[in-house]
Structure 1
Amino acid sequence: MASLGFKSSPHDHALFVQHTSRGSILLLLYVDDMVITGDDRPGISKLKHYLGQQFETKDLGQLSYFLGLEVTSDTSGYYLSQAKYATDLLSRAGLTDTKVVTTPLEINAKFDAGDGTPLQNPTLYRQLVGSLIYLTVTRHDIAHAVHIVGPST
């Protein structure tokens, strides 16, 4: 990417940015998935053509889903949702038929490692907590509860 004039973002090393006379091009990579966006449309087309010559690529059109994030837009902006991700997470946890509550955790709740019964599958618990941490990208309202049940530092 550097040979094409892109610079790695200091905020995320998977994000590459190129500033041109027409605007900017942003390329976000995650394993074999990428998002290309920006306001330099000719530059984006040229980049897609170049990448298509170097690698087997498939243009999926306008961004609608990436890494568990559903993306929609209208004239007022972009919107992120993780509804499918959350539904899949509930299914994996075996909680699809449970009662819904408005507050996921009492405000002053405190837990101790000796509380309750030991888990049969602590690996699944750690995976679920990790998934819940990712869910807080769009669900800030659960951040406190996830912090309480998550790993202690």
Structure 2
Amino acid sequence: MIITGDDSFGLEVSQNSDGYYLSQAKYASDLLSRAGITDSKIVSTPLELNCKLTLLDGTPLNDPTLYRQLVGSFVYLTITRPDISYAIYLVSQFMSAPRSTHFSAVLRILRYIKGTLFYGLHFSATSSLVLSGYSNVDWAGDLIDCRSTTGYYFFLGNSLISWRSKKQTVVARSSTESEYRALADATSELLWLR
């Protein structure tokens, strides 16, 4: 079964005895074709290890249109692809003035998507109804404004039901402060889910 409101945004839902599986393989494939990544090599991670991007990396793009279109399309793809959430969060910070190194990061994300085209979300039919979550933060990880990035994931049994990667609104003065802020965000989401 395929659920879609528009052929370009195909959200594919399949069902079997294990449960439901949501993916956007056709959408991702169309995105790769639009970017011209049909014959490129694949990579095993969406970002290079310890990838840090700043406003002044590389040279300005002559025409940032493709960059903006791809990043906007990535945002939609995170509906079923939480594995790329942080990478998309990172490259989306440069929409107003993207540069060559930012575009290189986008191309790497595309190569990762090509190698993981059929990744998606699985909702198990036999999963328990135990709610569990994980939270983490990188203290002052943003090189531009020194703010920390909070990330969390929540599972119902073994099915991922909620996730987030977002920059904190203030600069934390210590790693402990940033951890408490991340924990507060995760707790707020947990209370809403319960």
Encode CA deviations 1:42-99: one digit per residue, 9 max, x unaligned. Answer: xxxxxxxxxxxxxxxxxxxxx4131321111113322111111111111111222221
Alpha-carbon distance, 1:117 to partner: 2.5
Matched, 1:136 2:74: no
User: How many residues are matched?
Assistant: 91
Q: 1:125 aligns with which of 42, 48, 67?
A: 67
Matched, 1:75 2:13: no
Aligned position for 1:38: none
Aligned position for 2:122: none
The letter of the residue matching 2:81 is R
Distance 2:27 2:82 in 1: 15
Aligned position for 1:27: none
State the percentage of identical aligned residues.
Answer: 60
The letter of the residue matching 1:82 is Q
Aligned-partner SS, 1:106: coil
Distance 1:120 1:85 in 2: 27
Rg larger in structure: 1
**Structure 1 ranges of 4+ moved more than 2 A:** none
Encode CA deviations 1:81-125: one digit per residue, 9 max, x unaligned. Answer: 111111111111122222100012124211112212322321221
* Runs of at least 5 residues in structure 1 that lack an aligned partner in the other structure: 1-62
Determine which structure has the larger helix proportion and give its number: 2
